[in-house]
Amino acid sequence: MGDMHRIEDFKWQVEGRNPVMEALRAGRPIEKILVAKGSREGAVRDILKIARERGIVVQEVDRRRLDSISQTGAHQGIIALTVPYAYVSVEDILERARQAGEPPFVVMLDCVEDPHNLGAIIRTAECCGVHGIIIPKRKAVGVTPTVVKASAGAVEYVSIARVTNVASTLEFLKEQGLWVVGAEAEATPYNLQDMKGPIALVIGSEGKGLRRLVKEKCDYLVGIPMKGKINSLNASVAAGILMYEVLRQRS
């Protein structure tokens, strides 16, 4: 742990075996790891080995203490005290694509409020080669310990930006040469749309979909055909289908 971080900086926590392991692998500054007494097997053993090698303090505590401080309710016997998640700028995301020599692939979330949905989207985005995710500062969930847990640690490898205005950010992305594609239930089937170039994929909120102004900023809309009696998909499932279609077309 470097001298740049003071003890008062470590007011955030990462919970669960996979998220803590990925935080270590990604080099996130960690002040202390709390582990339930008797938890020394499998992934926990590997985590503690890395922690010892890096000089990170490990403290064995009663599992009830972990239960009392857990923010996810699913700590799996291990919690790391660390620094808050560091958001990036939209320009940083575009630069990441440039450095990779790839057309930008950005996911914009229009007011997704469920932390489990955001975590699942981050996890799929990492698997699909998304260069970054953009979320609003208001009326939407940010990166919380629950989101980190739901992402299975993928949040350590995905750039996320928070913006004040989604519509103006979409205009900026257009100016940078990206096509803005919105997910809309009754639109052209996604597999019939060319999505190989620079793209910003916009996913609406749970239950409400895209807001009117956001929808108007889209260059085109794509839908996911359905045959069942329920006419909508979970936001993270819809996002996953569309992200994998972009990956398929680019492969």
Quick one: DSSP state of residue 157? Answer: G
Q: Report the candidate in 84, 108, 116 with the shortest Cα–Cα distance to residue 236.
A: 116
What is d(CA 153, CA 232) in angstroms, rounded to the nearest whole number? 28
Q: Which residues lie across from 180 on neighbouring strands?
A: 200
Q: How much is the pLDDT for 10? A: 58
Tens-place pLDDT, residues 181-234: 999 988 889 999 999 999 999 999 877 889 999 999 999 999 998 887 676 788
Q: Which of 212, 118, 185, 197 is nearest to 158 (CA)?
A: 118
Residues belonging to the chain: 251
Strand partners, 32: 57, 81
Angle between helices 90-100 and 166-175 (to 10 degrees): 30
Q: What is the pLDDT of residue 231?
A: 66
Question: pLDDT-derived band of residue 9, with 50, 70 and 90 as boundaries?
Answer: low
Considering the domain delimited by 90-250, tell me its CATH architecture: 3-Layer(aba) Sandwich (3.40)
Residue at token pair 């996604």: 190
Check if 7-82 and 90-250 are the same fold: no
154, 235, 182, 153: CA torsion to nearest 10: 0
User: What are the residue boundaries of the structural domains of the chain, listed by start?
Assistant: 7-82, 90-250
Tokens read off for 179? 């096509």
For residues 78 and 35, the answer to whether their CB atoms sit within 8 Å is: yes
What are 24-74's pLDDT values in tens digits?
999 999 999 999 998 777 889 999 999 999 999 999 999 999 999 999 988
Half-sphere exposure of residue 21: CA atoms within 13 angstroms, side-chain side: 13
CATH 3.30.420.10 fits 7-82, yes or no: no
Our CA angle for 99, 104, 127, nearest 5°, is 90
| 3-state secondary structure at position 38 | coil
Measured in Å, how far apart are the chain's first and last C-alpha atoms? 40
Q: Are 192 and 249 in contact (CB under 8 A)?
A: no
